[in-house]
Amino acid sequence: MTASAIGATYRWVAIIMTVVAALGWGVLLVMSPSAASVQDAQRQEIDRLQLEQKRLEAVAAQQSATAAELSEMAARLAATRDDLSRAKEAYDLAQNAVIAKKAEFSSTQASLASAQAELGSLEQKLSVTREQLTERTGTVRSAAKDNKPERRKRVALRRKSAAN
């Protein structure tokens, strides 16, 4: 190879190296802004994700507070159900007691009615006996008349006490 051929080869190698270097710098300049914009986009995405994380943490805290409140309300509801159950049992006992007292009252009224009927019968017998006695002895019935208002008072008192 001659010196001119070697010089031409060096020239071509220098030109190719210059073109390759220029292309490299061009690619670097073109890629540099897009790499920066990618980094900016990543930073923005990181900021957005951090804000979203904070928002989600706040929502989670609110939901846990709501869950605690809900469990408290469930406990109060269970206590209220227990109270209601006890109140129903007490009501049932009271109803049974009322029924028993009504039966007792009816029995007492029946006893009172039979006692009044018996009293009426006895008064009638007494009246008949007094009439017979009056016929036999000729006494005045004034004593029997004086006794009737007193008997009426006793009957009225018995009725009041039976009603109470």
Q: State CA 110 to chain mean position distance.
A: 48
Q: Is residue 157 a part of any domain in this protein?
A: yes
Averaged pLDDT, groups of 10, the chain, 164 residues long: 80 91 83 73 93 96 95 96 95 95 92 90 88 74 56 77 74
With residue 60 as reference, give the H or E element that holds it.
Answer: helix 3-137
Helix (H, G, I), strand (E, B) or coil at 2: coil
Q: Is residue 126 a part of any domain in this protein?
A: yes
Q: Is residue 158 a part of any domain in this protein?
A: yes
pTM over 0.75: no
Range of the domain at 138: 46-163
| Rg over CA atoms, the chain | 59
The CA-CA-CA angle for residues 81, 83, 87, to 5°, reads 115
Q: Is residue 40 a part of any domain in this protein?
A: no
* Number of domains the chain is built from: 1
Q: Is residue 118 a part of any domain in this protein?
A: yes
Q: Which amino acid is at 104?
A: E
